[in-house]
């Protein structure tokens, strides 16, 4: 891989142009250089410059010198698709960025795009969602200006029954990204809630389309409470949800959080594709505090209570019930149960 931007024609071109112009502190970057580094024609460079100007970027053109960007410092950077794309250091995740100020659900948009043939690695990001989807048919509170709502399109060559393993890939990536900004190490609650001190900071929703023996696509939807404060949350969530800001006392730039998230997702997705589920499960266990503790799981209207024995080789939850038998739970909601006589 070359230096910044080189040899990565697949990356979002407008983000890449902004990155190149910023890399030249003083002076101009020639159209020819941009065209060479991005692997696109001079005419295409010019079209992208025009659309960047329409977005409000002050790009000056000097005759026979090229282009120069005039702007305020990094603190002023807006939350938009160009900034998201230009802050990424990934090859796959975010190679196309679709940014929406407001949408119903980024998962719904991603599913539509994936059905229409969108390539793997495209990400959808919204500043706000009006009908954010949660697990088990719940909703996901998605106020504007504060948090991260994103969906990633993946096309893994795995059997449909293995696709739920990606939920663990996403959970490890989200825990790693949140952990990079939170002073407190996050924990996972099976299968894929991310908690800080027992309160939910991030949630993951996978949606998939497949044939009998082939996954067509998986949409990985991630909602991360970055800068929300209790007053921006519905009253019923105030006791159970938290945000990174509640732990740091200051704002975390969403652009940085997203860059860390896509980078971690790319790393763990590649590990999963190349080495299988076991290293992912191993990393996931380091965030899972419930092994050996009393838990209760609601699964399809049935409650299973007992001691958590961890997860098995496909990610199912193992629970040793009062009768001494170990039950496998493939899907459900897990909560800490009543402690047993030994206090666990
Ligand atoms: C959960 O219930 O824990 C899962 C929440 C997932 C929310 C995210 S926000 C981005 C993406 N779009 C959606 O509509 N949902 C997911």
pLDDT tens-digit series, residues 37-89 = 999 999 999 999 999 999 889 999 988 899 999 987 777 789 999 999 999 99
**pLDDT at site 233:** 83
| Residue with CA at minimum distance from ligand 1 atom 15 | 133
Q: d(Cα 237, Cα 229) in Å, to the nearest integer?
A: 11
| Residue with CA at minimum distance from ligand 1 atom 2 | 134
- Mutate which of 103, 147, 174, 203 for ligand 1 pocket (most atoms within 8 A of beta carbon): 203
Q: d(Cα 293, Cα 298) in Å, to the nearest integer?
A: 16
Residues with CB under 6 A from ligand 1: 105-107, 129, 132-135, 138, 140, 149-151, 193, 203-205, 221-223
User: Are the C-beta atoms of 169 and 265 separated by less than 8 Å?
Assistant: yes
**pLDDT at site 6:** 33
Name the maximum alpha-carbon separation found in the chain: 82
| Spans in the chain with pLDDT lower than 70 | 1-10, 338-344
pTM > 0.85: yes or no:
yes
**pLDDT at site 117:** 97
| Residue with CA at minimum distance from ligand 1 atom 16 | 221
Distance of CA 323 from the midpoint of ligand 1 (Å): 37
Distance of CA 108 from the midpoint of ligand 1 (Å): 10
For residue 133, the ligand 1 atom closest to its alpha carbon is 14
**pLDDT at site 5:** 30
């Amino acid at each position: 891989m070359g230096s910044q931007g080189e040899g990565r024609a697949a990356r979002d071109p407008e983000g890449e142009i902004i990155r190149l112009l910023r890399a030249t502190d003083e002076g101009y970057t020639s159209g020819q250089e941009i065209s060479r580094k991005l692997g696109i024609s001079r005419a295409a460079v010019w079209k992208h410059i025009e659309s960047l100007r329409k977005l409000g970027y002050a790009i000056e053109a000097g005759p026979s010198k090229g282009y120069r960007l005039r702007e305020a410092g990094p603190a002023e950077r807006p939350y938009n698709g160009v900034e998201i794309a230009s802050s990424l250091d990934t090859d796959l995740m975010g190679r196309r960025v679709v940014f929406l100020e407001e949408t119903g659900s980024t998962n719904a948009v991603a599913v539509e795009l994936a059905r229409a043939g969108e390539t793997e690695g495209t990400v959808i990001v919204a500043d706000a969602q009006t009908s954010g989807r949660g697990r088990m048919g719940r909703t996901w509170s998605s106020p504007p200006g504060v948090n991260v709502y994103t969906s990633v399109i993946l096309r893994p060559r795995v059997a449909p029954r293995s696709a739920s393993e990606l939920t663990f890939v996403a959970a490890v990536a989200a825990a790693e990204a949140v952990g990079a900004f939170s002073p407190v190490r996050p924990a996972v609650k099976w299968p894929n809630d991310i908690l800080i001190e027992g309160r939910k900071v991030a949630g993951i929703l996978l949606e998939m389309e497949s044939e009998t023996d082939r996954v067509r696509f998986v949409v990985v939807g991630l909602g991360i409470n970055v800068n929300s404060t209790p007053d921006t949350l519905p009253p019923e969530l105030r006791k159970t949800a938290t945000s990174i800001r509640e732990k740091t006392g200051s704002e975390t730039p969403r652009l940085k959080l997203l860059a860390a998230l896509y980078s971690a997702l790319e790393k763990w997705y590649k590990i999963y594709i190349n080495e299988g589920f076991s290293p992912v499960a191993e990393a996931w266990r380091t965030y899972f505090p419930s092994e050996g503790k009393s838990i209760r799981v609601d699964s399809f209207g049935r409650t299973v209570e007992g001691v958590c024995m961890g997860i098995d080789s496909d990610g199912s939850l193992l629970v040793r019930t009062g009768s001494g038998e170990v039950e496998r739970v493939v899907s459900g909601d897990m909560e800490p149960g009543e402690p047993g006589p030994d206090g666990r």
